[in-house]
Amino acid sequence: MKNWLEPYRIKMVEAIRLPPREERERILREAGYNLFMVRAEDVFIDLLTDSGTGAMSDKQWSALMRGDESYAQARSWFRFYEAVRGFTGMEHVLPTHQGRAAENLLFSQIARPGFTIPNNSHFDTTRANIEFFGAEAVDLVIPEGRDIHLDYPFKGNMDLDRLETLLKEKGSKSVPLCMITITNNTGGGQPVSLANIRATGELCRRYGVRSSWTAAASRRTPTSSSGGSPNARI
């Protein structure tokens, strides 16, 4: 028999309030239907982001208590470093508190006026960081990804034809990086196929352009965007 119960116990309880429907409707109207303008105490179920809004497990709490908070050369750093290096194979690791901070560091080095950075769909902080340094952020999601009524398995895929057209037009000197956001947050958290990721990488290599994927929901690559699941607050 299938077990429908969650196989864990919550370690901490925080009181929340479910406002009456009429009050929720009023709050949404007053916020201009902008979920970022809704006060947290008025939210019953928060799906606006996946960035640490839920309860921590017993292992997370114990790790927090046992962590080495030394200013330099902490043992926690070495555990983190070995884990990241083992996963990415990269020798140099620079931790940041959030993906948007990592984006700021990255694009401060590679984004310039006249440069173009394509993506399947840029997350809002990614676009903001790119445009802050003067480059152009271009969305190249497949047409199926813009049809909300269409049932399609990989609506977050990169449009390879449009990407090749852009690479031919701009050239590798003005395209410092091609990105793929997984999952495609701006497109509603839509998935991207492995075949599309491979094809995008091969296309970029053909034109001498670096490619990078950013993990929006699973957190967090060195060039990751911030954000999480499709935006929703109830």
Residue 73 CB: number of other CB atoms within 10 A?
A: 8
Distance (Å, whole) CA 1 – CA 149: 35
Distance (Å, whole) CA 200 – CA 216: 18
Q: Report residue 216 as tokens.
A: 């929006």
Q: Coil, helix or strand for 122?
A: coil
Residue 29 resides in a domain: no
pTM surpassing 0.85? no
Q: Coil, helix or strand for 184?
A: strand
Residue 224 resides in a domain: no
Output the pLDDT for position 51: 65
Output the pLDDT for position 16: 86
Output the pLDDT for position 233: 33
Output the pLDDT for position 226: 34
The CATH number of the domain holding residue 139 is 3.40.640.10
Residue 119 resides in a domain: yes
Contact in structure between 184 and 224 (CB atoms under 8 Å): no
Q: Is the dihedral of CA 44, 46, 48, 53 positive or negative?
A: positive
Distance (Å, whole) CA 66 – CA 60: 10
Among 190, 177, 156, 188, CA closest to 221 = 177
Tens of pLDDT along 44-96?
A: 888 777 666 677 788 888 888 888 889 889 998 999 999 999 998 989 998 88
Residue 186 resides in a domain: yes
Distance (Å, whole) CA 210 – CA 142: 21
Burial class (CB in 10 A: 0-12, 13-18, 19+), 65: exposed
Residue 136 resides in a domain: yes
Q: How many domains does the chain have?
A: 1
Q: Residue 118 forms beta bridges with which residues?
A: 138
H-type helices in the chain, by residue range?
21-30, 58-66, 75-88, 99-110, 124-132, 160-170, 194-206
Residue 153 resides in a domain: yes
Domain that holds residue 111: 97-215
Residue 44 resides in a domain: no
Residue 70 resides in a domain: no
Q: Collect the ranges in the chain with pLDDT lower than 70.
A: 1, 3, 50-53, 215-234
Output the pLDDT for position 48: 78
> If you write DSSP's letter for every residue of 9-65 in order, what string do you get?
--S---------HHHHHHHHHHTTT-GGGS-GGG-SSB-S--SS-SPPPHHHHHHHH
Output the pLDDT for position 169: 94
